[in-house]
Amino acid sequence: MTDKIIETQKLAKSFGDQWALYGVDLTVNKGLTTGLVGPNGAGKTTLFSLLCGFLKPTKGTIKILGHDPDHPELRGRISILPQDAILLKAIPVGKQLSMLAELQGFNKKQALAESKRVLALVNLSSSANKNADQLSHGMLKRIAIAQAFIGSPELILLDEPTAGLDPSTTDGIKAVIRSLAGKTSIIISSHNLEVIEDLCQQVIILKKGRLHSHEKIADMTARTMALTFRLESDPDTNISEIFAGLDMVTEVKLGKKGQHRLVVCFKEEAGQLAEIEILKCLAVAKVPYREMIRGERLQETVADRLD
């Protein structure tokens, strides 16, 4: 039994003479929650659609759980939240989920129970008998998410799962995804890097249709060995001098203009003492800050890498 849930080799997709994706070699192991990120036009949606089998590759190969994306062995073992797919308008959403469950191998009675279960997961049990055109955009998104949770898929692919959702609903969806972590492999494609950072263990970064990097988020953000500050204004370029007396400080990084960001990295063995000393240095130098977090934020790290 392979541990690889997704494997692509020299994967490429062109639209006309434009390469949306080129030469992507990628391996994702089982049991992880993985983020797929990149700026607009990076090939994120194309890669996602290729993995789901919506698009056919121009070159290269894809293996999902050891099979081609349209292999019958995969039916019911993977589930997908497509970003822009529209539910049928004339049928109640509960019935639609039940129909999809039937296609997944449930009998009618089981399918009905399954549709009720996944509707409850997204807190929409009361909307089961409503048609799609009676629901708001956010509710439809939650129904689409619910269909991805039908059955016990081994791999769940979620394209922008929190786009268009209010903060409270986003938290609910994040909680459901978090509850599945470890039991199933999840790929999340999103522009919201806070969601990726919150839910994922690793991230795939695409840039201009090519694989830029694929690594653990913990490695990228040095979670335990840095403090990130959002200052009132952009820090002076010589701000690192205020930490000159601290041997434990290994690096001082400044954000881009307008980001008001300061990252102070320190030796792992210094622990909490380093945090206190760094805060003291800022207070002495009268550098006010609005927010402080341990480690680096994925959002800035990714932005820096893509520059």
Partner 1 sequence: MNSLRLGVVSTLTRQDLYYSLKSARGLLFLVFFGVFWFWVLWKLSSGNAQHLASPEAGMIMSYIIDPKVASTLFVNHSPTFSAFYYLAISTVPMFVLFAASDQTANDIGSKYLRFLTPRCNRLEIFIGRFFGAVILVAVSYVIITLLAALIAMSVDKDSFAMVVRDAPLVALSLILYTIPFVALMSLCSVIVGSAGLSALMGISIYVILLVLITVVHLKMPDAADMLAYALPNSTKSLFLQLSWGNTISAALAVPFYVLAYGFFGWKIFSKRDI
* Site for partner 1 contains 79 (CB under 8 A): yes
> Does residue number 72 form part of the binding site for partner 1 (CB under 8 A)?
yes
Contact 267, 250 (CB under 8 A): yes
Exposure of 297 in the CB half-sphere (CA atoms within 13 A): 19
Give the binding range for partner 1 (CB under 8 A) out of 4-12, 66-74, 117-125, 198-206: 66-74
Stretch that binds partner 1, among 76-84, 163-171, 214-222, 272-280 (CB under 8 A): 76-84
What's the min distance (Å) between Cβ of 35 and partner 1? 20
What are the tokens at 297?
């934020």
Beta strands in the chain (DSSP E): 4-15, 18-29, 33-37, 59-64, 78-81, 155-159, 185-189, 202-207, 210-216, 226-231, 249-254, 261-266, 289-294
Q: Are the beta carbons of 279 and 262 closer than 8 angstroms?
A: no
Number of residues binding to partner 1, judged by CB under 8 A? 32
Tell me whether residue 118 or residue 264 sits nearer to partner 1 (CB atom).
118
- The structure tokens listed for 276 are 């206190």
Residue 46 DSSP SS3: helix
Shortest gap between Cβ of 141 and partner 1 (angstroms)? 13
Contact track, partner 1, 119-148, x by CB under 8 A: -------------------------x--x-
3-state class of 148 per DSSP? helix
Residue 145: which of 129, 163, 158 has the closest Cα? 158
d(CA 106, CA 108): 6
- CB closer to partner 1 out of 78 and 199: 78
Single residue of 1, 3, 86, 168 touching partner 1 by CB under 8 A = 86
Nearer to partner 1, 60 or 76 (CB): 76
Residue with tokens 């999809």: 100
Strands 226-231 and 289-294: antiparallel
CB of 183 to partner 1, least distance (A): 18
Rank residues 71 and 214 by Cβ distance to partner 1 and give the closer one.
71
CB of residue 72 to partner 1, shortest distance in Å: 5
Identify which of residues 35 and 69 has a Cβ nearer to partner 1 in the complex. Answer: 69
Cα–Cα distance, 246 to 207 (Å, whole number): 37
With CB under 8 A as the contact rule, which of the stretches 35-43, 82-90, 184-192, 281-289 interacts with partner 1?
82-90
Per rule CB under 8 A, is residue 71 in the interface with partner 1? yes
- What's the min distance (Å) between Cβ of 135 and partner 1? 15
Q: Which residues contact 120 (CB under 8 A, 6 or more apart)?
A: none
User: Of 152 and 213, which has the nearer Cβ to partner 1?
Assistant: 152
For partner 1, the binding residues (CB under 8 A) are 49, 52-56, 68, 70-72, 74-76, 78-80, 82, 84-91, 99-100, 102-104, 144, 147
